[in-house]
A and B are shown apart, each in its own frame.
Chain A
Amino acid sequence: MAMALADWIADLGEVVVNWMATLGDITLFFTRIMAWMVRRLPRRETLLPAFYQTGVLSLPVVALTGTFIGMVLAVQSYSQFRMLHLETRLGSIINMSLVRELGPVLAATMLAGRVGSAMAAELGTMRVTEQIDALSSMGANPIHYLVVPRFLACLLLIPMLTIMADFMGVVGGFFYSVQLLGIDSHHYWANSQKFVGAYDLYSGLIKSLFFGAAIAVIACHRGFHCDPGAEGVGRAATNAFVYSFIMILVLDLFLGIILNAVYYMIWPQGVTLL
């Protein structure tokens, strides 16, 4: 019994130590990215493909997700608001939810799934086939050559993808509420304008910057530390998505708390929907 308990404590200790080591390693990885970004910007020929992969190719899927989530919000909120005879306030709740929360989180989730996993798999394959070692041996720093362009692409393009998700969500919500549910268009927009301010949009975009950075760092780190073989590459891709998604949600909570606190510092009376 005592032996089993000791083993259990030892196993738990090992897990904690491994987690701490990984966390420390990711922090070091991030500081190396920052150092190389300050030292020298990547070349055009490495930046453009990363921007194209991350931004242009992600646009359709992010737009589609945004549209549907806007319509889903309208479907789910309509019955509750109708009971209170507040159908025209639907625009405020849909658009507020979209720009503050769902737009940034869904754009980031799509980016983690589409781009993060692909980055981890690509860099993992390069690690396994010694291509990353080959880069180093030729005097090209792999962080500078492979990671910085991907990091910049995620960091700079995720706000734009978020704007696209927000916009298509607003369009989707409007279409379902006004065209299909028959809510008055003028009051729908008037209420939206009244309750959704620039701060809500900016807070969503600020969050998205953190999400984009987290996705790139986690995905590239997983790829760089990929285990050998096809199984290792597969695990790197899966872990990149799972860890990124967890990090998106954790960051969302803490950034939400911080940004709300800042909001109430600036406007202490806040805003009410009623």
Chain B
Amino acid sequence: MMVGNSIKTDAKQAPLIETRGLTVKFGRQIVLRDITIAIPHGQTLAVIGESGCGKTVLLKSLIGLIRPTAGHVIFDGKDLAKMSDAGLTRERRRFGYLFQSAALFDSLTVAQNVAFPLRQHTDFNGEKIRETVLARLAEVGLPESVARKKPAELSGGMRKRVGLARALVLNPEAMLYDEPTTGLDPIMSDVINELILRTRKKHPVTSVVVTHDMQTVRKVADRVVMLYALSRLKPDEPQIVFDGPPKELDTSKDRRVRQFVEGVAGERITELAEQAGAT
């Protein structure tokens, strides 16, 4: 039952993040349709699916960067769509977000990037900020010499780790990872996976990991949700084609899930060729 912008539920059972009938449209294109997911405190949820199926849109909706066309996103009992600009800004301090491209501010140094949330939301003095920044960088395996560099001088893996240090600097209650291992070599991908695990061990954080890297899914996730592109679904078919623990992915009888997990092109090559021929 909704009262104001809060939704009454039993506090012990209430999920930290929840979507109810979430639908997102861009112009005439529907990207997400009637997505209902509840993520309990402390759970690490992996959202998988092919490119363009709406994974990143779902992740951005969870933090209010994209407003739903219909439905609700509820964080800790509060409906994000009903919050004011200032209220939403305040609530976002409880999140950490690792962007696909790391999204570091290119006009600032690495240290200034990691210090940004501290300067915004704490009254730490310069020395305390410096100490915290260097400690966070060390946690993700980056030396002090990196702190003075600009993001453009870093490799992809280093940028991701700086992004992770920045996202974790305020000890968020919820961490959102957008394709954390995309574009990285296998070793660096595993480093990022390990860092995600370590973060969970250190802080009781609720995480959502958007990925199509099955190694990440198997290593970090407690639960997996698979989205399917709406363009390939009938109007009455649900967009979530799998919701369960990672080990059930291998025993799933759904052809779409098996195809994704096994990474088999199958009939897709014929479909793509037909589409190209049609245009």
Using a CB–CB cutoff of 8 Å, the interface residues on chain A facing chain B are 32, 35-36, 39, 129-131, 133-134, 136-141, 143
Contact = CB atoms under 8 A, between A and B. Distances in A.
Given A133-B65, A136-B92, A141 B85 contact: yes
Contact of B92 (A32, A36, A138): A138
Instruction: Classify the interface of chain A: helix, strand, loop or mixed.
Output: helix
Contacts of B176: 137
Contact of B120 (A129, A134, A138, A143): A138
Contact of A137 (B65, B85, B105, B106): B65
Interface stretch (B16-24, B94-102, B218-226, B271-279): B94-102
B268 to A, nearest CB: 25
Given A137-B65, A138-B120, A131 B92 contact: no
A139 B166 CA distance: 13
Given A133-B60, A134-B97, A139 B105 contact: no
A141 B89 CA distance: 6
B278 to A, nearest CB: 23
Contacts of A32: 85
A137 B92 contact: yes
A139 B117 contact: yes
A141 B121 CA distance: 12
Contacts of B105: 131, 134
A140 B116 CA distance: 9
B63 interface: yes
Interface of B: 60, 63-65, 85-86, 89-93, 95-97, 99-101, 103-106, 116-117, 120-121, 166, 176
A131 B100 CA distance: 11
B86 A141 contact: yes
B86 A137 contact: no
A130 B90 contact: no
11 contacts: A32-B85, A129-B101, A129-B106, A130-B101, A131-B104, A133-B97, A134-B99, A138-B166, A139-B91, A139-B117, A140-B120
A84 B97 CA distance: 73
Given A138-B117, A138-B120, A133 B103 contact: yes
Contacts of B90: 139
Contact of B97 (A39, A137, A143): A137
Contacts of B63: 136-137
A140 B101 contact: no
A139 B60 contact: no
A35 B96 CA distance: 26
A231 B103 CA distance: 20
B99 A139 contact: no
B84 to A, nearest CB: 9
Contacts of A137: 63, 65, 92, 95-97, 99, 176
A139 B93 contact: yes
Given A134-B97, A136-B92, 20 more contacts: A35-B85, A129-B101, A129-B106, A130-B101, A131-B103, A131-B104, A133-B65, A134-B103, A134-B105, A137-B96, A137-B97, A138-B92, A138-B93, A138-B97, A138-B117, A139-B92, A139-B117, A139-B121, A140-B116, A140-B120
Given A139-B121, A140-B120, A129 B85 contact: no
Q: Quick one: which of A35, A136, A137, A141 has the most chain B CB within 10 A?
A: A137
B151 to A, nearest CB: 10
B121 A136 contact: no
B124 to A, nearest CB: 15
Contacts of A131: 103-106
Nearest to A128: B101
Nearest to A136: B65
